[in-house]
Structure 1
Amino acid sequence: MKEWLIFNDLILLCISVGVFLITLFVLPRIRKTALKFNLMDSPNQRSSHDTVVPTFGGVAFYITLVFTLFITQLLDTNDITISLLVSLTIIFFVGLKDDFHELSPKMKFLGQVVTVLILMSQPEFLVYSLHGFFGIQEIHPIISIIFSSFLFLGFINAFNLIDGIDGFASITGIVIAGSYGLLFHSIGNYYFLAICVAVISMLFAFLRFNFSSKKKIFMGDTGSLLIGTILGLLTMKLLSLGGETYSALAIYRKEIPLLILCILIIPTFDIARVIYIRVTQKKSIFSADRNHIHHVLIDAGLSHKQASLLIGIINILIVVSMYFSIKYFGIGFSLLLFFVIILSLIYTFFVMNKTYFAKKKKVKFRNFLINCLSTFSLKHTANHNNYRLLLKQKIRSFRIFFF
C-alpha cells in the first residue's frame, strides 16, 4: 500500500513538473508561429484590449493534456482515457476552427454536443441521484442523461464566456481545479487528481505569458473550450459519486452539490446574469455584448490583473466559507449563506455596472424608491413636489447607485 502511494505521488510530481515545462516551452513557439502567419485577435467594440494579440494558446493546452493522459492511463481503472482523448480532440478542432474563422453559434454548439455525448456514454459521469439535495433522490436513467448533458454543456459555455480579460479564465480555472483536486485527494481518486494537477500547472505556466506586456498570448476559444470540457468532466465525476465515497470529507453526500455550486460560482453567476440581461433586452442569448462581470470590473477602473485576482480571491473565500459552513453548521444555515452570497454578488455588480442599460435600470429603481417613500410618508401632503425633490437629493447623496 505504501509503495502504491509513493508511485502515485511520483506520477503527480512528474505530471506537475512536466506539464509546466512543456507549456512554457510550447507557448513561445506557438506565439512566434501566430505572429509569422498573422494569426491575431484584433480588438473590437467588445474587447478589453486595444492592440492585436497572438491567439491559439489553447494549442499548448491540447499538447500538454495529451501528455497528461498518456501518463495518467496508468491510474485509469475504468478505461475512460480513450473516450476523454477523443472528446478533447473534437472540442480542440472546434475551438481551433473558431479561432481561425469564427464559427456560427449553432455549429459551435453542435461540436460541444458531440463532445458531451461521447463522454456521457461513460456511466460514471451520469448523475443518477442527488442523494436528498432539495429532497431529490433517484433520477430516471433517461432524465439522468438529459440532466447530466445539460449541466455539462452549460458549464462548457459558461467557462468559454468568462475568457474576456487577461488571467480571468486562468485564475478561475486554477481555483476550480484546485478545489476539485483537494476533493479527489480526500476520496483517494488519483486519476482525476492527476488531471486537476495538470490543469493547475498548465494555467500557471500560461499566466506567465498572458499577463506579459511583451510576450502576451491569448488561449482563444481553443483553450477555453478545452479547459471548460476538462473542468466540466471533473464536475460530473464529483456529482456522480456515491454517498460512501465522501465519508473522508466529514460532510454529507447531499451537501456536495451546494459545495460544488460555490466552487463554480463565478462562471455560473456570470452566465445567469448575462442571459437575464439579454432576455430583458429582448436579444438572443447567443448575442455578444459587454455585460459580463469582467467587463463591469474593467469599466469600473480595475486593470486586467486586478480584476482577475480580485475575482479569484472572492471565489476562494466563498468556497472556504461554504465548506466550513456545511461542515459545522449544516445544510440549512449553508443555504441561507448561499442566498446571502448571491444577493451580495447581484448588488455588487448592479452598483458597479455603468453601462447605459444598467443606468436605465438604476433610474427606474431610484424612482421606485422615491415613490415608495413619498407614498408611505405623511410629509408629502404639505408639498408633494418639494418633498419628492428632497428625497431624490438624499438618495443621490449616498452615491451608491451612480445616479
Structure 2
Amino acid sequence: MLQIIPALIAFFTGLLAIPVVIKIIKKTNLLDEPGGRKIHKEAVPSMGGIGIVCAILGGLMVAFSYQQWLEVRFLMMGLGVMFLLGLRDDMVELSALQKLFGQLLAIAFVVVLGDIRISSFYGFLGVEELPIWMSYGLTVFTIIGLTNAFNLVDGLDGLAGTLSLISFLFLGGWFLSTGFVEFGVMSLVTAGGILSFMVYNWHPAKIFMGDTGSLTLGFMLSVFSVFFVNANGTLLADGHPLKFHAPITAGLALVLISCFDTLRVMVKRMKRGKSPMAADKSHVHHFLMRMGLRHDQVTCLLGGVKLSFLGLVVATSGFSDSVLLPFVLGTVVVLCLTLDAVTLRKVRKIAKNSPRILTLDSPNSFKDRQVENSKKVLEREIMQ
C-alpha cells in the first residue's frame, strides 16, 4: 500500500509542472503546427514529456533509497539519453541516423551495462537459452522496434497516454506482487506521471507529449516488457499464481496495439510499392477517425481492445506460448482485416449519403469539388 504514495506524489507533481511547461512553450513559440498528416486544427504546445519526466523524478526521489538508485542507475542513464534525444528532436528535427545512434546509446546502457535482455525463449519452438550474441542482437532489435512503434501511435489526443497507462499499471501490480520492487515502484510512479499528463492531453488537448514523451515512455515500456518476459520466464516456482507459462505472449500483450499497428501499415505500404518508412494516414486511429469516431471514442475503443487482450492472457496464463501466441496473432490479423473492411464500407456509405455537386457554377462549387475529391482520396487510400 505504501507504494501508492510515490505514485500520488508523481501525479500531483505532474499536475503542477505541466501547466508551467505549457506556459514556457507558448512563450518560446515551440508549438506543434497543424498540417500534413496531423489531425489537430490549431497550434498546440508539444514537449509534454518534460512534465511527465518531472513527475516521475518527483515520485522516485521520495520512493527510492540510495541502494535502490544504484540498482536502477543504468536504466536511468538510458532513460536520460532517450529523454534528451526526444527533446532535441522536438526542438530541431533530427535525421533518422542521428535518432538511431542516440537510441543505440540508450540501449547500450540498459542491455550491456544493466544486463536487461531476452536470454531465452523458455521452450517456445523448442528453444531455451539463447547464445549471447543472439540475446544481445534480438534485445536491441526488439527495444528499437517497440520504442519507435509507440512513437508512431502517438497521433491522437490521449491515445499514447491511455495505452501506456494500462501497461504500466499492469506491470506495477505484477512486479510488486512477484518481488521486483524497484521495477514495480517505477511502473506505478510512471503511471502517476502519465495520468497527470492525460488531464491536459485528453481531447481537446492542451499539450502533446511530443517525441520528448513518446520516445521516453516507449523506451521505458519496451525495456520493462523485456524485463517482464525474462523475469516471468525465470520465476522460480512454477506453481506461483502470477506466473505466465506464455511469457512471450504476455509481454506482447503489453505493446500489442502499437506493435501490430506499425507492422500493419508497413505491410500496406510495401504492397503499394512504397517505402515501409513512408509517412501516411494508414494508422489504425486514422481509420477509426474516418469512420466518424471522435478522439476520445477512438482512445477508449483501443484501450478496451488492449484490456481485452491482457485479460485474455491472464485468463489463459496456464497455456504455453506454443498454443497462446498463434491464437493471439491470428486474432489480431482477423481484427485488422475486419477493420479495413468495415472502414471501407463506412466511408463509401458516408460518400454515398453526402450531397453531390449540383452545378459547377454554384457559389460553393469549388468547395464542393474539394469535398468530393477528399472523399475519393480517402476511399482510394483505404482500398489500397
TM-score, normalised via structure 1 length = 0.80
Q: How far does residue 150 in structure 1 lie from its aligned partner after superposition?
A: 0.8
- Report what 1:59 is aligned to: 50
- Please report how far the alpha carbon of residue 66 of structure 1 lies from its aligned counterpart in structure 2 after TM superposition: 2.6
Write the distance in 2 (CA, Å) between the matches of 1:345 and 1:160. 22
- Is the CA contact (8 Å cut-off) linking 1:57 and 1:220 kept in structure 2? yes
Q: Corresponding residue for 1:102?
A: 93
State the match for 1:195 in structure 2: 186
Does residue 122 (structure 1) correspond to residue 105 (structure 2)? The answer is no
Query: Which SS does the other structure have where 1:244 is aligned?
Result: coil
Q: CA shift at 1:151, angstroms?
A: 0.8
- Counterparts of residues 32-71 of structure 1 (less than 5 Å): 32-71=23-62
For 2:234, the equivalent position in structure 1 comes to 243
Aligned-partner Cα distance in 1 for 2:239–2:179: 9
Separation (CA, whole Å) in 1 of partners of 2:247 and 2:67: 24
Q: Which moved more, 1:66-75 or 1:22-31?
A: 66-75
Q: Deviations over 1:29-72 (max 9, x none)?
A: 11011111111101112011111111110111222233344344
Structure 2 counterparts to residues 136-175 of structure 1, below 5 A: 136-175=127-166
| Residue among 270, 278, 288 paired with 2:261 | 270
Q: AA paired with 1:220?
A: G
Asked if structure 2 preserves the Cα contact closer than 8 Å seen for 1:130 and 1:254, the reply is no
Looking at structure 1, the residues matched to 217 and 180 of structure 2 have their Cα atoms a distance apart, in angstroms, of 20
Aligned partner of 1:344 among 327, 334, 350: 334
The structure 2 residue matched to 1:24, chosen from 15, 21, 26, is: 15
Aligned residue for 1:318?
Answer: 309
2:38 maps to amino acid: S
8 A Cα contact 2:7 2:59, kept in partner: no
Task: State the AA in 2 paired with 1:94.
Answer: L
- Cα contact 2:72–2:182 (8 A) shared by 1: no
Are positions 1:209 and 2:192 aligned together? no
1:3 is aligned to none
Q: Give the deviation of 1:123 after TM superposition.
A: 5.3
For the pair shown, the structure with the greater C-alpha radius of gyration is 1
C-alpha separation in 2, matches of 1:246 and 1:120: 26
Equivalence for 1:286: 277
* 8 Å CA contact 1:239, 1:256 repeated in 2: yes
Which has the higher mean CA deviation after the structures are superposed, 140-149 or 240-249? Answer: 240-249
Contact 1:187/1:246 (CA < 8 Å) preserved in 2?
no
Letter in 2 for 1:148: T
| Equivalent pair of 1:56/1:222 in contact (CA under 8 Å) | yes
Name the residue aligned to 2:220: 230
SS of match in other structure, 2:128:
strand
Q: Which residue of 2 aligns with 1:83?
A: 74
Structure 1 letter corresponding to 2:222 = G
Write the distance in 1 (CA, Å) between the matches of 2:69 and 2:125.
30
Contact 2:49 2:210 in 1 (8 A): yes
Using the aligned pairs only, state the percent identity: 27
Q: CA 1:212–1:182 in structure 2 vs 1: closer, same or farther (change >3 Å)? A: same
2:363 is matched with which residue? none
Deviation, structure 1 residue 121: 1.6
Q: CA deviation at 1:284?
A: 2.6
Q: 1:128 to 1:20 in 2, by over 3 A?
A: same
Q: Deviation of residue 188 (structure 1)? A: 1.8
The CA distance in 2 between the partners of 1:191 and 1:233, in whole Å, is 14
Structure 2 unaligned blocks of 5 or more: 349-381
- Mapped to 1, the partners of 2:322 and 2:104 lie a distance apart of 36
Q: 1:338 to 1:249 in 2, by over 3 A?
A: farther
Is the Cα–Cα contact under 8 Å of residues 187 and 245 in structure 1 kept in the other structure? Answer: no
TM-score (norm 2): 0.84
Which letter does structure 1 place at the counterpart of 2:217?
A: I
Alpha-carbon distance between aligned partners in 2 of 1:80 and 1:118, rounded to the nearest angstrom: 13
Candidates 210, 219, 232, aligned match of 1:220 = 210
Deviation of 1:345 after TM superposition, in Å, equals 1.8
* Structure 1 residues 74 and 134, CA gap change in structure 2 (3 angstroms): farther
What is the CA distance between 1:320 and its match in structure 2?
0.4
The offset of 1:171, in angstroms, is 0.5
Contact 2:245/2:317 (8 A) holds in 1: no
CA distance in 1, matches of 2:229, 2:149: 18
Alpha-carbon distance in 2 for matches of 1:57, 1:235 = 23
- Whether contact under 8 Å (1:165, 1:294) holds in the other structure is yes
